Chain A
């Protein structure tokens, strides 16, 4: 038993129970495993948006020049954002639709700020596969529901930018925003 000297107690050398060496093996492999997994963390997380990308994640936009019925395209997180000044007729059209009939049920009031229901602010990113819908620019087609129309796969949005027809699953996303003043909106 010379080769076992110093590692096993006499009763364990007889082949019963856990040897001290088993404990050392498990401890060593566990430490290496935990260390390996922790090393993966920076390797994976380096691919997430970097600090400068995140720093661009809020933007202030002047809306004083947008007349009723007009819309502008802003840039938020390097993606288009639509800011639209709804006409009373468009607000009425949006409120006339029963929300229960919608694919993604939401009322216009839920998609705007109280007292500012004419300001419809949404991402200009189709919820299907991310194309930019038409309808914000002057003279662009607005689709059969008078809101936005995505030319890629034919999704139509209404005047509250809610999905009404086509493959997109959700309404155009309303980003987080607040009115910094009556003429400036801060998105993000």
Chain B
């Protein structure tokens, strides 16, 4: 679907006309990311992170396929084969650093993309399905990243695999057999390494599939925008190509600049030195932490130190960690405000900037810190606020808040006036409008 004023694909070359009749793939691309897709004219830089995520996924798939040509998924040689990639394979060091830091870059981009959605209410109707698919992609990314980190078979790989699969052992009754089944043994070993490699190669292509659905679902209502006011007329939009292709190109350039700065000048900044020690099942590193992008959720896992009613602390931590992401699935229905953008929601905005953002910062910090005071208590407070924000504050704020007046249209928001708005009734506060007047009074 698209807006009625969308440009139509008109192939000029005979070959393209021939192709359009047999397999209209160029038409699909034209309508999806070409001149045939009208987007709101007011998109700001936060709207570039979708394309950046796609760039990251491409980097990961390309470098990942190359690494798989030189890597050996066997517990006796996996560590050595990674060193072989680093030392002997032509450009192998670059491929591996590009892949390891590419994962970090992917998560930086995706976190910004998600929080863009939080602030601008991108998850609201009619884009709930876009949001739900996005959360699925995030979960798939986390699984893929975790299994990829196990592959070098260093100390952090091994103990990460043990601790994370150990989470499943917290499930009552079936936990222990489930963990043994997942690992194919009683501790991480060759069987686990092999299956993680198999799935690590598979899941990115599953992600590609869900990304296609994500973009498909997005293109039905069209992109949201910083005002949160839906597109009303042609003057609210510009064609995706060339306007946003150019803007996305600029963003990709800026992104690659930062990515390459880390890749070439600080490639181990985000890694752990312990992972350059081969896996040793007999000795645990003193300070086990996951990669930085899991820290907020790891902090929530560790925040539960005492039994909670009849639920053991260990199970409670696991439940809370998974719920922290699952709660996002319910966001479109927890936030009931019809106003999408945080720009027009003064109360919501305060809770976003002074509640959710500092909470996430604390969780990020505590997840990477050792499990001792004051970090445990800070994680507990932040965890409590995190759930309070989504389950209590958002529903209450969205029902009691009085939003600021919205612009009539995107055009009015951009140009200060919109000729079409003269045809619309004058804006009145909602309590004086006809909408709330009883029908009997008419």
State A158–B396 Cα separation when bound (angstroms): 49
- Known: A131-B163, A154-B371. Is A169-B284 also a contact (CB below 8 A)? no
User: Is B186's CB within 8 Å of the partner chain A?
Assistant: yes
Q: Which of B181, B284, B305 contacts A131 (CB 8 A)?
A: B284
18 sample A-B contacts, Cβ–Cβ < 8 Å, listed by A number = A47-B181, A47-B182, A47-B184, A49-B185, A49-B186, A53-B191, A75-B281, A78-B187, A79-B187, A80-B282, A129-B314, A130-B187, A131-B162, A131-B163, A131-B288, A153-B302, A154-B371, A167-B314
* B313 touching A167, Cβ below 8 Å: yes
Please indicate the chain A residues that have their CB under 8 angstroms from the CB of B195 in the complex.
47
Q: Which of A79, A128, A131 contacts B186 (CB 8 A)?
A: A79
Please indicate the chain A residues that have their CB under 8 angstroms from the CB of B162 in the complex.
129-131
State A122–B198 Cα separation when bound (angstroms): 34
**Residues of B that sit less than 8 Å from A by CB:** 159, 162-163, 166-167, 169, 180-182, 184-187, 189, 191, 195, 281-284, 286, 288, 302, 305, 312-314, 371-372
Please indicate the chain A residues that have their CB under 8 angstroms from the CB of B169 in the complex.
130
Please indicate the chain A residues that have their CB under 8 angstroms from the CB of B314 in the complex.
128-129, 167, 169
Question: Residue among B281, B282, B314 with the most chain A CB within 10 A?
Answer: B282
State A75–B166 Cα separation when bound (angstroms): 19
* B282 touching A75, Cβ below 8 Å: yes
Please indicate the chain A residues that have their CB under 8 angstroms from the CB of B305 in the complex.
167
Q: Which of B186, B282, B288, B371 contacts A77 (CB 8 A)?
A: B186
* B163 touching A129, Cβ below 8 Å: yes
Listed from nearest, the 8 A-B pairs whose CB atoms lie closest are A131-B284, A77-B186, A130-B166, A129-B166, A129-B163, A132-B284, A130-B162, A53-B185
State A73–B282 Cα separation when bound (angstroms): 8
Please, which residue of chain B has its CB at the minimum distance from the CB of A103? B307
Q: How close is A78's CB to chain B, nearest CB, in angstroms? A: 5
Interface residues of A in 105-152 (CB under 8 A from B): 124, 128-132, 150-152
- Known: A50-B184, A78-B185, A131-B284. Is A153-B371 also a contact (CB below 8 A)? yes
* B286 touching A49, Cβ below 8 Å: no
Please, which residue of chain A has its CB at the minimum distance from the CB of B195? A47
Q: Which of A47, A75, A154 contacts B372 (CB 8 A)?
A: A154
- Known: A48-B181, A49-B180, A130-B166. Is A77-B187 also a contact (CB below 8 A)? yes
Please, which residue of chain A has its CB at the minimum distance from the CB of B283? A132
* A130 touching B372, Cβ below 8 Å: no
Please, which residue of chain A has its CB at the minimum distance from the CB of B302? A153
Total residues of chain A contacting the partner, CB 8 A:
25
Q: How close is A49's CB to chain B, nearest CB, in angstroms? A: 5
* A53 touching B286, Cβ below 8 Å: no
Please, which residue of chain B has its CB at the minimum distance from the CB of A136? B282
* A48 touching B180, Cβ below 8 Å: yes
Please indicate the chain B residues that have their CB under 8 angstroms from the CB of A150 in the complex.
284
* B302 touching A49, Cβ below 8 Å: no
Please indicate the chain B residues that have their CB under 8 angstroms from the CB of A129 in the complex.
162-163, 166-167, 314
Q: How close is B303's CB to chain A, nearest CB, in angstroms? A: 11
Please, which residue of chain A has its CB at the minimum distance from the CB of B75? A78
* B187 touching A49, Cβ below 8 Å: no
* B191 touching A131, Cβ below 8 Å: no
Q: How close is A36's CB to chain B, nearest CB, in angstroms? A: 21
Question: Residue among B166, B186, B191, B302 with the most chain A CB within 10 A?
Answer: B186
- Known: A154-B372, A167-B305, A169-B313. Is A77-B284 also a contact (CB below 8 A)? no
* A79 touching B163, Cβ below 8 Å: no
Question: Residue among A79, A130, A154 with the most chain B CB within 10 A?
Answer: A130
Q: Which of A48, A77, A78, A151 contacts B286 (CB 8 A)?
A: A151
Please indicate the chain A residues that have their CB under 8 angstroms from the CB of B181 in the complex.
47-48
Please indicate the chain A residues that have their CB under 8 angstroms from the CB of B284 in the complex.
131-132, 150-152
Please indicate the chain B residues that have their CB under 8 angstroms from the CB of A130 in the complex.
162-163, 166, 169, 187
Please indicate the chain B residues that have their CB under 8 angstroms from the CB of A53 in the complex.
184-186, 189, 191
State A57–B187 Cα separation when bound (angstroms): 12
* A169 touching B312, Cβ below 8 Å: yes
State A75–B283 Cα separation when bound (angstroms): 12
